[in-house]
Amino acid sequence: MRQLRRFLPLLLLLVCSVALATTLSSDQRYCPVCGESIAVQLPMSTNDMGGQDRDLLQRAHGAQVFMEVVATCGQCGFTGWPADFSETKRSKRRGGSGEEADALALTKDQRQAIEGGALLRPEALSDVPFRAEAPYGDLPSWGRLDMLAQTVALRGGEQDRVADIYLQASWAVRMGYHPVHLRGADPSEAQRDWLFGRLAEFTEQATDLQMTNPADVEVWVAVRLLTGAEQAPGDLRCLSAAYGASLMRSHGEHDALLASFDVLGECFPAAEWPGKAQAIRESVALERRYQGLARDGFVAALEAGDLTGEKVAITTYLVGELERRMGEHDAALAHFDHALTLTVPDGLDPWIEQQRCLLGQDDPVLALLLCRGRASGGNGGVAPAGEP
């Protein structure tokens, strides 16, 4: 039981993800462009119990606020945070006085551009039904964040601000893709007992390695499940691989996820696996698409000298990390190296070194085992890329 309690948070995330520690309240607002009525979500409370992924995603247990609070007008596509929407209905639905819109810092030109269809419904939405009466309705959170980036850009937002929204869109793909699809039927009681034992063992290892970031702990557990899958007896091999791959997907460690396909492919019926594999690849491609848009915006902001102070070092590191996640290791190495020449905030140095260590290695799962297996938080010099 003591063991069970130790890794209960991990299990909650793994098994059900229903720890609704984030609370939201619904409110009725009106679009500042076309006056359409729209329900928005106001954050009442949240938490950071899920730790932080290395591309700076701060993870909450339960709902993620950044995925919930952005709203899109189903009629015209205007997208914003709750404060961007009006609390009172405009007197005229279209072509009104514009006073409220002006108060919300929308110019007449911007309003007309949006009404003229300047905001584009995101690609890759074939699974979202198109309704002529609400062409921008029913978007998933990453689709609304895509629309938000377009809206903020149209309103003259700075490029690093737009890039930051595209980064959030990539996070929304990661958090919105339900990795439970990777797993097969519910495990039997004996299988579950075996899995719990492994999770306890690997969580304890992470503690011994001084990992205090819950996101790092989960990636470590994923690494151990995948590297241990080969040795797992019988049907436990697939259980180990599927849970490890699910965790890799939920943390956006795509190279390691895709490397697990050899084992996973043998774990599903021949008629089932190609469809699953394709769905996973598409979700990875979508996350990488938004990482690419974020990277481009951050690079442009850095080159334009728009950023100052610690933001320069943090953004330089982040660009490298996005490139690593997109498989562009040479570019990532250049940005990590550059970041190491800058004044970085406390805690970022070990991250840069560990992420740099991951580059250029043949096996992405073993790379995580090697580079994260060193005690976290230390500052023991820069590991050359590819160092064994």
**CA-to-CA distance for 85 and 40, rounded, in angstroms?**
9
Minimum CB distance to Zn ion, residue 169 (Å): 20
Give the whole-angstrom CA distance, residue 305 versus residue 288. 25
Q: Which is closer to Zn ion, CB of 147 or CB of 225? A: 147
- Build a one-symbol-per-residue string for 156-195: x at contacts with Zn ion by CB under 5 A, - elsewhere: ----------------------------------------
Using the minimum distance from each CB to Zn ion, give the nearer residue, 34 or 371.
Answer: 34
Least spacing, CB of residue 128 vs Zn ion, in Å: 18
Number of residues located near Zn ion, criterion CB under 5 A: 8
Of 78 and 171, the one with the shorter C-beta distance to Zn ion is 78
- Part of the chain binding Zn ion (CB under 5 A), chosen from 33-41, 335-343, 348-356, 369-377: 33-41
Among 33, 60, 65, 221, binds Zn ion (CB under 5 A): 33
Q: Among the candidate windows 1-9, 36-44, 208-216, 236-244, which touches Zn ion by CB under 5 A? A: 36-44
Residue 124 Cβ, how far from Zn ion at the closest point, in Å? 23
| Closer by beta carbon to Zn ion, 36 or else 84 | 36
Measured distance CA(241)–CA(267) in Å, rounded: 9
**Where do the H-state alpha helices sit in the chain?**
2-6, 8-11, 65-68, 99-103, 108-115, 141-154, 159-176, 189-208, 214-229, 236-250, 254-259, 261-264, 273-303, 310-325, 329-340, 348-357, 364-372
- Residue 164's nearest CA partner among 69, 283, 301 is 301
Q: Shortest gap between Cβ of 115 and Zn ion (angstroms)?
A: 8
Which residue reads 């023991």 in tokens?
A: 380
Q: Judge whether 151 and 80 are in contact, CB under 8 Å.
A: yes
* 275 φψ region: left (φ > 0), alpha (ψ -120 to 50), beta (else): alpha
Q: Provide DSSP, 311-377.
A: HHHHHHHHHHHHHHHTT-HHHHHHHHHHHHTS-PPTTHHHHHHHHHHTTT-S-HHHHHHHHHSSPTT
SS3 37: strand
Of 34 and 333, nearer to Zn ion (C-beta) is 34
Q: Are 164 and 291 in contact (CB under 8 A)?
A: no
Q: How far is the CB of 118 from Zn ion (least distance, A)?
A: 12
Q: How far is the CB of 77 from Zn ion (least distance, A)?
A: 7
108-122 burial: b if 16+ Cβ within 10 Å, else e: eebbebbbeeebebb
CB of 41 to Zn ion, least distance (A): 17
3-32 positions binding Zn ion, by CB under 5 A: 31
* C-beta of 30 vs 268, nearer to Zn ion: 30
Q: Which is nearer to Zn ion, 78 or 194 (CB)?
A: 78
- Map the footprint of Zn ion across residues 42-81, applying CB under 5 A: 73, 75-76, 78
CB 129 to Zn ion: min, Å: 19
Output the DSSP codes for 80-126. E-GGGSBSS--SSSSS---HHHHHTT--HHHHHHHHTT-SPPPSS-T
CB 38 to Zn ion: min, Å: 8
Per CB under 5 A, contacts with Zn ion among 76-135 are 76, 78
- Residue 248 binds Zn ion (CB under 5 A): no
For residue 68, how many other CB atoms are within 10 A of its CB?
Answer: 18
Q: Which is nearer to Zn ion, 76 or 225 (CB)?
A: 76
Site string for Zn ion, 285-304 (x = CB under 5 A): --------------------
Q: Contacting Zn ion (CB under 5 A), which of 10, 13, 24, 34?
A: 34
- Which of 34/339 has CB closer to Zn ion? 34
Residue number, 148 or 371, with CB nearest to Zn ion: 148
How large is the angle between the packed helices 329-340 and 310-325, nearest 10 degrees?
160
Which residues sit at the interface with Zn ion, rule CB under 5 A? 31, 33-34, 36, 73, 75-76, 78
